[in-house]
A and B are shown apart, each in its own frame.
Chain A
Amino acid sequence: MSSTATTSDKIEYSEAENRNALIAVKAHLITGLLVFLLMMLAGFAMRAAQGTWLDIPVDLFYQIMTVHGVGVVGAAGLASTGVLWYFLRQYVRLSNTIVWTNYFIFLIGVVLILGSIFLGKYGGAWTFLYPLPGNSLGAWSTGSAALFQVGLLLIGTGFLILYLDFGRGILGRYGSLGRALGVTQLFGMEPLNIYHPATVVAGTMVLIVNFIGIAAGAVVLVMGLVNLYYPEFKPDPMLMKHLIYFFGHVFINVAMYAAVVAVYELLPRYTGRPWKTNKVFLAAWFAIIFLVMGVYPHHLLMDFPVPAWAAITAQVLSFGSGLPVLVVTGYGALMIVYRSGIKWNNTTKLIFLSLFGWAAGVIPAILDAMVTVNRVFHNTLWVPGHFHFYLLLGLLPMIIGFMYHLTGEGKEKAQSSATDNFGFWAYFVGCLMTSMVFLASGANSVPRRWAVHMEEWVTLAQFGAVAAALVLLGMLIFVFRSLFSLPKAANPN
């Protein structure tokens, strides 16, 4: 079996370090998948309530909506970090202590956020859009809004500490971020090395972009906290909106770019074909840095004071941000699988599915990022339609596929069990249906974030609830697999 990993010098760790590192990765995966499962339950509850099948008070609905949003984003960050860290530490020396530090800070942050929502009744959505957290008209207290933001701030701090370790490790091995990214090869300052690890390129991009994104998030969270306790300090709502969407967009996008290393690392192992680095690949990842950070104004297209040049730039960059997956990663995956004799198991099925979910989910996203289209799609259920598509069918299959790989699936040449196979199909059909019902609802102008739906929209919500139940069923099987097979599994490497 060949991969980018076999052709590059690997970092040597002690057996104890490797054992501990594997436990850390499994903890990230299991925690992430458990949180995802709970958030899917929350999603099901919301769709059932909108479909009039479940009676939930509106304050509880919006608390569930808040925990669903923040929980999914947090779980995406944590689990994708587990995937990236597992592979990146093979190329650059990373600290087990730091990854555990981030993990436990994350858990403390989660406790604070859960407390703010379910004890403090905070229901200001995960976007904490200023000045809503301090203006609930009595629904929640200043303290609970502050606790939510402190929880987020803490989680962000944990990630920043982790990225400092990424930076230390990458600079220690490659000398500069540009070399690690392959920019020196791209611009001819160094000869092209086709064995330059894709994981290092992706890890460096994640470090640069998410460090900046989280720093922006910290700034807006601190400004929001100051405002909560000193209301005479009134930051500009437009500035706050820019910072919030920059942070939010970057963080959730980076989760995808972190988890995609599972594709680069695992498809070569299961097809016997190498994923070689070339200039197109390096150029795409170099562009991604700017694209991921530059597209966020597409969340503000209905804020008309945003200048036309900024909105049009966001539209162009949004289209551009679809190209790396449509032309490089997705396309590369298709080539590597085509007539490869690949053995289809849970790992490969899920990894391959993830590329489909990402590539197909990009289409409704790009369309909605057009100014003229956004006028009749913004803040309808079209928006959750496209991001559920590429989170449920793109990001999560990368993480779950990697989880199956870690259980030793490839090593033992085990056939997929009937239960796992059933889980896959329940999950696939459920996720496809969930996303398509959201998109259909958006095309019917159904607004997002409404606790109570108008009569005309109830049937669509009921279809959504059935779809969400199927997703839950599939996810339940994946979570059981992670709980029962993952803890005792030896490292497949």
Chain B
Amino acid sequence: MISTVYAISLAGMAFIAAVFIFVIKNSKEVEADYPSVIQKWYGVRGKWFIFLAILGITVTFLSTSPYPIADQEKTYEDNEHQVVKVGAHQWYWTMVPNTVESGKPVAFYVTGEDVNHGFGVYDDNLTLVAQTQAMPGYTNKLIHTFDKPGKYKILCLEYCGLAHHAMITELTVN
């Protein structure tokens, strides 16, 4: 997911850069008949708009069905899920239990005990695999299935004061 998004961004930005460079290269010679330039490129603009609209609708549909966030009304305290209760404090985590099994969905019940925090789950390559906000007065239910065992790090992803960057703990996945 991350590398695909990165590649799409770079490709899109490179495309826009190429178009701007093309126009710069063609800016010195003068086409006195500007109305004909307008007429020609307005036609292209219509197609460009339709392309972007179709792209937007398609991407929206594909990326939101099924909706990627777990149903928050549902309770996950059943045999199909491992429930981990997470409390975010200035500046430490409480996590019960702090060991889970791979291959079986984990339901993290995450809340902020004082201010807003961000519950970020990082694998052993320091790649972010899942996250949710930890907000006072609310419990966010994050469902994640770990593919592989290992030592995962929990990092704070919402600025919460002076030791924000030191708010790190570990989750063991067997």
What residues make up the interface of A, taking CB atoms closer than 8 Å to B?
58-59, 62, 123-125, 127, 129, 131-132, 135-137, 139, 236-238, 241, 273, 300, 302-305, 308, 311-312, 315-316, 319-320, 323, 326-327, 331, 334-335, 337-342, 344, 352, 355-356, 359-360, 363-364, 367, 370-373, 375-380, 439-440, 443-445, 447, 449-454, 456-457
Q: How far is the CA of A360 from the CA of B16 in the complex (A)?
A: 6
Q: For B41, list chain A residues within 8 Å (CB).
A: 331, 334-335, 338
A344 contacts across to B, CB distance below 8 A: 27
A184–chain B nearest beta-carbon distance, Å:
23
The answer to whether A380 and B30 have CB atoms under 8 Å apart is no
Chain B interface: which size bin?
A: 35 or more
Across the interface, which residues of A come within 8 angstroms of B48, CB to CB? 326-327, 331
Min C-beta distance of B33 to chain A, whole Å = 10
- B56 in contact with A320 (CB, 8 Å): yes
A136 touching B161, Cβ below 8 Å: yes
Q: Which of B1-53 contact A (CB under 8 A)?
A: 1-3, 5-6, 8-9, 12-13, 16-17, 19-20, 23-24, 26-31, 34, 37-38, 41, 45, 48-49, 52-53
CA distance A355 to B49 in the complex (A): 18
- Please pick, from B12, B24, B128, B163, the residue contacting A376 in the complex, using a CB distance under 8 A: B128
Q: How far is the CA of A370 from the CA of B166 in the complex (A)?
A: 29
Let me know if B90 and A443 touch, CB within 8 A: no
Binary interface encoding of chain B residues 57-87 relative to chain A, with 1 for a CB under 8 A from any of its CBs, else 0: 0011001100111101000000000000000
Is A377's CB under 8 angstroms from B2's CB?
yes
Cβ distance B123 to chain A, nearest Cβ, rounded Å: 9
Are A379 and B157 within 8 A (Cβ)? yes
Partner of A323, one of B24, B49, B141: B49
Pairwise interchain contact A339-B63, C-beta atoms closer than 8 A: no
Within 8 Å by CB of A334, from B5, B8, B19, lies B19
Chain A residues with CB under 8 Å of B56's CB are 316, 319-320
Bound together, the chains give a CA A300 to CA B138 distance in angstroms of: 13
Known: A308-B69, A359-B16, A367-B5. A129 touches B60 (CB 8 A): no
Known contacts A372-B68, A439-B6: A236-B137 contact under CB 8 Å: yes
Chain B residues with CB under 8 A of A311: 69
A410 to chain B, nearest CB (A): 16
User: Quick check: B64 and A315 within 8 Å, CB to CB?
Assistant: yes
Taking a contact as CB atoms under 8 Å apart, the answer to whether A376 and B131 are in contact is yes
Q: How far is the CA of A37 from the CA of B140 in the complex (A)?
A: 40
Q: How far is A72 from B42 in the complex, measured between Cα atoms in Å?
A: 37
Could you tell me the distance in whole angstroms from the C-beta of A186 to the nearest C-beta in chain B? 16
The reply to whether the CB of B95 lies closer than 8 angstroms to some CB of chain A is no
What's the minimum C-beta distance from A276 to chain B, rounded to whole angstroms? 9
Which 10 A-B pairs have CB atoms at the shortest separation, nearest pair first?
A339-B31, A341-B30, A445-B128, A443-B6, A450-B165, A363-B12, A379-B157, A304-B140, A449-B159, A372-B68
Q: How far is the CB of B122 from chain A (nearest CB, A)?
A: 7
Beta-carbon contact of B161 and A371 below 8 Å = no
Check B64 against A363 for contact (C-beta < 8 Å). Answer: no
Are A59 and B157 touching (Cβ within 8 A)? no
- In whole angstroms, how far apart are the Cα atoms of A356 and B20 in the complex? 7
Q: Which residue of B lies closest to A331 (CB)?
A: B45
> Please, which residues of chain B bring their CB within 8 A of the CB of A124?
161
Known A352-B24, A376-B1; contact A367-B161, beta-carbon cutoff 8 A: no
Q: Which of B30, B45, B68 contacts A339 (CB 8 A)?
A: B30
Per-residue interface assignment for chain B, residues 152 to 174, with 1 indicating a CB less than 8 Å from any chain A CB and 0 otherwise: 00011111111111100000000
Bound complex: CA A440 to CA B5 (Å): 11
Please, how many angstroms separate the alpha-carbon atoms of A334 and B32 in the complex? 16
- A334 and B69 contacting across the interface, CB-CB below 8 Å: no
Closest to A274 in B: B34
**Known contacts A316-B60, A338-B23, A338-B26; A137/B2 CB under 8 A:** no
Complex Cα distance, B97 from A156, in Å, reads: 47
Provide the residues of chain B in CB contact with A339, threshold 8 Å.
26-27, 29-31, 37
A443 neighbours in B (Cβ, 8 Å): 2-3, 5-6
Q: List 24 A-B contacts (CB under 8 A).
A: A59-B162, A127-B159, A129-B158, A137-B161, A237-B136, A300-B133, A302-B118, A302-B131, A304-B69, A305-B72, A312-B60, A323-B49, A323-B52, A326-B48, A331-B41, A339-B30, A360-B13, A370-B59, A371-B63, A371-B67, A379-B131, A379-B158, A443-B5, A445-B126
